[in-house]
Amino acid sequence: MRGKGGANGNCFVLSTGARIPAIGLGTWQSGGDICVEAVSTALKVGYRHIDCAHLYENEAEVGKALAEAFSGGLKREDVFLTSKLYFATNSQKRIENSVRVSLKNLGVSYLDLYLVHWSESSAFGDATDPPWNSGSDYRQFLQRLKPTWKAMEDLVEMGLVRAIGHQFRLLLDAEKG
């Protein structure tokens, strides 16, 4: 799984063959000029993976930093961009609109990776989102995930994203069981 990419030269290979740099800059809880500066600095020092989400409300700032880097000679294909879909809908049109908003805010024509984001519908929970109490809740979640996954596959076919995934892949593996 090692290769070139990222600040330290290591990467992982996705099932699509794409290489995702092992080290990236996460933009959660970063906003305004600080976000622009953080992304700009990361790109200048060699980071080539930027992780964001529409839910973070900072993709416009990430986009501003990307535009500066691209105008300075960095190529779009040399930056691996990940964004996420908040799993609150399984409507094909809303999912497509969501990715298009991210693309517009980021100022790019495609995402390298689009993930289903951890949601209030999580099976495993965390400190603010306790785990489900029954297997039927989990099965209902998997049923809701199916049309979302199909809509995300359509995004790949449209060329809006190059790879898709779930932030916690175990959810998909559990269905195969």
Domains and CATH numbers, the chain: 26-176 (3.20.20.100)
Q: In terms of C-beta density within 10 A (0-12 exposed, 13-18 middle, 19 or more buried), how is residue 134 classed?
A: exposed
The 10s digit of each residue's pLDDT in 11-60 is 998 888 899 999 999 999 998 999 999 999 999 999 999 999 988 999 99
Sequence-separated (6 or more) residues with CB below 8 Å from residue 125: 131, 132
Torsion of CA 83, 89, 93, 98, to 10 degrees: -30
> Of residues 47, 56, 110, 138, which has the active-site annotation?
56
Active site residue 56: yes
What is the pLDDT, as a whole number, of residue 144?
A: 74
What is the pLDDT, as a whole number, of residue 61?
A: 98
